Structures are given as structure tokens and as C-alpha cells.
Amino acid sequence: MHPAEPVFQADEGLNAKYRHFRVATDRDGLAWVTMDRQGASTNTFSREVMEELASLVDDLVARKPRGMILRSGKDSGFIAGADVEEFKAAASVADALAIVRRGWDTFNKLAAVPFPTVALVRGFAMGGGLEVTLACRYRIAVDEPATRFALPEVMLGILPGWGGVMRLPRLVGPSAALDLMLTGKSVDARKAKRIGLVDAAVPPRVMENAARMMALEAPPQKKLPLKERMMAGPLKAVVANMARKQVAKRARPEHYPAPYAIIELWQKYDGDPFAPPAGSPASMATLAAHPTTRNLIRVFALQERLKALGKESGFAAKHVHVIGAGVMGGDIATVCAMRGLTVTLQDQSAEKLAPAMKRAHELVRKRIKDKYRARDALDRLIPDVAGEGVRRADVVIEAIFENLEVKQDLFAAVEARAKPGAILATNTSSLKLADIAARMKDPARLVGIHFFNPVPQMMLVEVVKGEATRPELARDAAAFVRQIDKLPLAVKDAPGFLVNRVLGPYLANAFRMVDEGIAPETLDRAAEQFGMPMGPIALADTVGLDICAAAGKALAGADAKPPACLVRLLEAGKLGKKSGEGFYRYEKGKPVKGQAGPVTEDLVRRLIAPYLAEAQKAVAEGIVADADLADAGLIFGTGFAPFRGGPMHYLAEGGKA
């Protein structure tokens, strides 16, 4: 054995005492604490786990080790944070505050131990998982793609109440800390090192020795740069006001109080969640009692349910073949390549493939900062005019224009060349699978995998099971969707499926209101006032007015009279953002809007009513399995106001159609 490698001796006394932690001591007198929550695939802080950690810290202080290293015993990652099920089960504000108090007291106890403490993080450290590392003196991150750090509490309508609001700004400065806390976004090991969140980012082969040397050497902790110290001191109020203005651009305080509470708690109370008086916007009691918090926790549970749909099959693809190098097909191919899959992208000529390859380079460079990982992703994306990739692919995705005969011919040819077990999928948004599969020898092989534009941003993917589709194929397709880090939603093969079916009447209603003389800006403001992230007119411009017209015709029937405003714009060649002008004119990709008129409650109700009514019809007709899945699909597929918990939940709670 290499002389620098640690030799461990299990602490039988402590290991007999605790269920969720294992303790071993190395020859240097360091205590290695491995968190391994029993009966769970992922580490989370339940009440029992937190109580064990508090007791274990007391035991270690009594034993006086030279230092302590905290690590995970799970292959899935470090620690995912609090046990959300306990938050959901909290029957009162007092119950919720008790959960916060346990974590706050335990992590403060850990932060106060007299010996060096090191968090060795491999995989995700989310929420309370990051907060426990902040309570340690040092942090070592394993430099792998799976290692991510985040404080996503704001996305649940709460705040990092276990010390995150207090400790993170002290460690990385207010700028980086507020950015992480107010957005919930994650950073990888290398960025964590750059911003000062971790002391080192190391490869797996040296992670234990890096943690060991950090604990033994116990270097002095770095001070923040002068600029960050000023922002945390004399300029604190200025920084807080600037942060509020940035938050106000994307979230109203009455809809999303948590980001405003985070700023207030940092500015006025140094991150102590128990310092604000009752009724304060920064009070944990105020947040816990707010309906947004309950609804955002509900949305989290819906998201987890969608993820679970992708775990019903063990299917894992290695090679994906995409036919059609338009914006949709090219982006599908690029997303798959960025997730580690080999991808062949087919179109009729090299000239038609070139724009997709150019966009792929831009997207990969934007998303993957490490130049070697970016290069590897681009190397996995292979132009394939001849379509030879069909023979090797585990998944074949058709993403060509909506022409039934062309799709029928295409799938008849693909079926003859593809591997027997390959998933054959169409990205159609309006045609029935049974019609597309009419010329296939085995129509049961066809499934719908319907992405939304823009593919890199939109998390939802509808998995469409036709009447003939084999059930196991639909389950395999859902597993593939999760493999590329999207959310699968099982839907029935019906016009528009779920998302486009509900959006169709909503957009058509907005167009008719424009025909009546209501300004597009007013309608968009009304939708935003309701809580939509984007108004219907801006959404139509983003999707493309030609696509909206085609989808509307497919849903309403060829004989339906299209809105006059839409016809007028299409005849003028104004297709929306992609042509530089639609309902709005675009400069550098941004819409140039006029002044919005007054928005009344009646206007909001009238605008939203068709959306809600169509969602009810879709559930009644069994387009999805139940109302909760409809809520999940419409939140993640259309951006329906998350703080309302989904359209069906909103109606059940007394909202009016």
C-alpha cells in the first residue's frame, strides 16, 4: 500500500450506536464519518438522521480526534438536502419551524467543534447537503460532471435556513452567494473552486488524500477580497436594493416571497432565520404559512413523479440517430451528445446539416465551459447524410416537417434498416401515430417522443403511446427521456396530446382578443400578472406564427377560420422572433414593445379561461392518467404559474375558469 494512503480502523462503539453514520479512524487520528442513510438510495436529512448527526458531533468532541472528514456512502451523490416528505407532512407552521430549528442548531454545533472539519463532496450537494459543508471548516470537491453544488430552497418557496444565508456570503462574498441563493442554480466543482466555495477540486484518485492533508495541515482560511468585504459591510444596503430590483424583473413579491425574504434575512439579520420578528417578510413562519410554499413543494413532488416514470425500465441508449437537422432536430441531437451519447444527425445534404452543426457548436460552448468536455461532446455529434447511423442506433428520432406521406415513407424505410430492439420515435406535434405507422410492417414499434422548443431549455417531453404501441416500448422511451435529463410525461395519442391541445385554445383566444383591438402588450401583461412566465403573444412569436397557424388548423380543423391578425402577419412574411418581426419587432433577439393598457381582473379571467377549460377536458378524456400529471405537464410544458400548483389544483382550490 502507498504510504500516503489512509488506513482505517472502524469505531465499533459508535457504529453500533448509529444507523445512518459509520465512523472510522485513520493512523493520523482523523475521524472519517460516512453518511449512509439506511433504507434510502440517496442521502437526505430526515429528523432521525439530523438527530443522529447532532449526537455524533457531541461524541466526537468528547473523543478529541485530530480532525473529522465527512463523506457519503452513496453512489448517487453526497447529500440531496432535507427530506422533502417531512416538509410536506408538516401539519402546522410550528412543525415546519421545528425542522428548521433542528438543522440550524445541529449545523451550528458542527461549525463550533474545536478540530478541523472537512467535507469531501463527490456528486450532488444540494440544499442542506451544501449547508452542512458550509458548517465544516474546509471543502474538497471531486472534479467529476456529477459533482454539483446548489441551494435550491428558493424553488420550494423557502430559504436556506440551516445556515446557508449566513455562511455562504461570508465564504464566497455577497455577489456569488446571492446569485446562487436567489436562482437556485448549481455550479460544478471547478466553478465552486473559482468562486471560493470549495478549497480544492481534485480527481477521484486523490480525493481521500486531499481531504486527509487538508485536515492535517489545517491552513488558515482565506479572507474575502476588499470589494466583497465592502459589499458585506458599508455597501450592504446598496447590494440588497440592487438584488431586489433584479428579482423584481422576474418575480412578484406577492407570488414568490422567498427571494425577497432571502435578501432581507441577509441584509438585516445576518442570515439568522430566528431573528426576524413575527410578521416580518423574512420570517420563516411567514414563508411556511404562505400558499406559494405549499404549492412549490407540490410542484417539486410532481417533478419527482415525472422522474419516476423514467425508472420503470432499465433501457439505456448508447447511440441515437436523429433524422431532420432543422432547429428542433439539430437541438435534440446536440442535447443527446451533451449527455454523453453518440449521435448521428441526418438530412438530405451537407448544406442542410451545416446550420445545425454551427448551432451545436454555439450551444455546447455556452453550456460546457470545460474545453475538453465541450470538444468530447462535439466529437460525439456526427453528420450523416447517408443515414448509416440508423443501423447502429438504439433510438431513432424523426424530426422532419409535418407531412404525413413523407413520414409514412420514412418510417417504412427506417423499420427495414433499424435494429430489432431499437426505439423508433416520431417528434410529431399534430399527427396521429397510427397514421404515421400505416406503412410499417410492425406499427407497434412506433412511439412518440415529443420535444418542445427551445429543446435545451424545455424540460418536459411527451411520450406518446399510440393504440398499437407496445407498452414496454413506451416505458423504454420514458427511460431514454430521463437519460438525457428531461422529464417524461405519458400521454395518449390524440390531437395536440396535452400541452399543444391546452395551448391551442389559449393562443387562439389571445389572437381573437387582438382582433377585437386589445393591444398584444396588454394581453401579455395580463398573463404575467396571473403568473405566467411569458404572455401568449410573446409565446406565439417565440414558437413561430407559422407553427402556431399549422397547429391551430390541425386542432380546430381545416374549415376553422383563422384569426385575422395571424393571417395578416403571415401574409406579410412576419413569422415572429425567427424572422425578426411578428406581433413584435425584435432587436438583438429582444422584443420591442409598446405601452400596455390597464389590466383588469375580468381581462385576466377571460384570457386564461380557455386554458383552464381545455385542461379540464383533457383530463376528463384521459389524455393523461390523472389531474396531478396534467398539472405537472402544463407547469413544465407551458410554464403555468408554478406558485398556483397547476391548473387543476388551482381550480380545485377555488380558482375560476
Q: Which helix (H) or strand (E) holds 34?
A: strand 30-35
112-137 average pLDDT score:
98
Query: Per the confidence metrics, is the pTM higher than 0.85?
Result: yes
Which strands sit side by side in the sheet containing 8-10, from one edge to the other? 8-10, 21-26, 30-35, 67-72, 117-121, 138-142, 200-202
- Under the banding of pLDDT at 50, 70 and 90, the label for residue 6 is low
pLDDT at 2 over 50: no
- Give the rounded distance of the alpha carbon of 562 from its chain centre: 36
DSSP 496: T
* Model pLDDT for residues 231-267, shown as the tens digit of each residue: 999 999 999 999 999 999 989 999 999 999 999 999 9
Annotated catalytic residue 450: yes
pLDDT at 163 over 70: yes
> For 73-216, where are the E strands, in sequence order?
117-121, 125-126, 138-142, 148-150, 186-188, 200-202
Nearest to 484 by CA among 317, 637, 608: 317
Identified catalytic residue from 20, 290, 321, 450: 450
Contact 331/456 with Cβ under 8 angstroms?
yes
Confidence (pLDDT) at 437:
96
* Model pLDDT for residues 139-157, shown as the tens digit of each residue: 999 999 899 999 999 999 9
Q: Would you state the cell numbers that stand for residue 616, as one nine-digit string?
A: 379540464
Nearest-angstrom CA–CA distance, 73 and 68: 16
Cis status of the peptide bond prior to 277, with omega within 30 of 0: no
From the options 3.40.50.1240, 3.40.50.720, 1.10.1040.50, 3.40.50.300, give the CATH code of 500-652.
1.10.1040.50
451-458 average pLDDT score:
93
pLDDT at 3 over 50: no
Confidence (pLDDT) at 543:
85
Nearest to 568 by CA among 504, 509, 514, 527: 514
**41-45, 120-124, 285-289, 342-346: segment of lowest average pLDDT:** 285-289
- Under the banding of pLDDT at 50, 70 and 90, the label for residue 5 is low
> For 506-657, where are the E strands, in sequence order?
585-587, 590-592
Q: Would you state the cell numbers that stand for residue 326, as one nine-digit string?
A: 432543422
Classify burial at 395, counting beta carbons within 10 Å of its beta carbon; exposed 0-12, middle 13-18, buried 19 or more: buried
Share of the chain above pLDDT 70, in %: 99
* Model pLDDT for residues 586-636, shown as the tens digit of each residue: 998 899 999 999 999 999 999 999 999 999 999 999 999 999 999 999 999
Contact 400/407 with Cβ under 8 angstroms?
yes
Confidence (pLDDT) at 1:
41
- CATH class of this structure's domain 319-493: alpha beta
Q: Would you state the cell numbers that stand for residue 51, as one nine-digit string?
A: 438527530
Q: Where in the chain are all domains bearing CATH 1.10.1040.50? A: 500-652
Nearest-angstrom CA–CA distance, 46 and 51: 9
Confidence (pLDDT) at 655:
82
Q: Where in the chain are all domains bearing CATH 3.90.226.10? A: 8-222
Q: Where in the chain are all domains bearing CATH 3.40.50.720? A: 319-493
* Model pLDDT for residues 300-339, shown as the tens digit of each residue: 999 999 999 999 999 999 999 999 999 999 999 999 999 9
Nearest-angstrom CA–CA distance, 408 and 418: 15
**How much is the CA Rg of the chain, to the nearest whole Å?**
27
Confidence (pLDDT) at 547:
86
Nearest-angstrom CA–CA distance, 164 and 157: 15
492-506 average pLDDT score:
94
**24-33, 365-374, 629-638: segment of lowest average pLDDT:** 365-374
CATH code for the structural domain at 8-222: 3.90.226.10
Helices 627-638 and 601-620 cross at an angle (nearest 10°) of 130
Block residue for cell numbers 470538444: 375
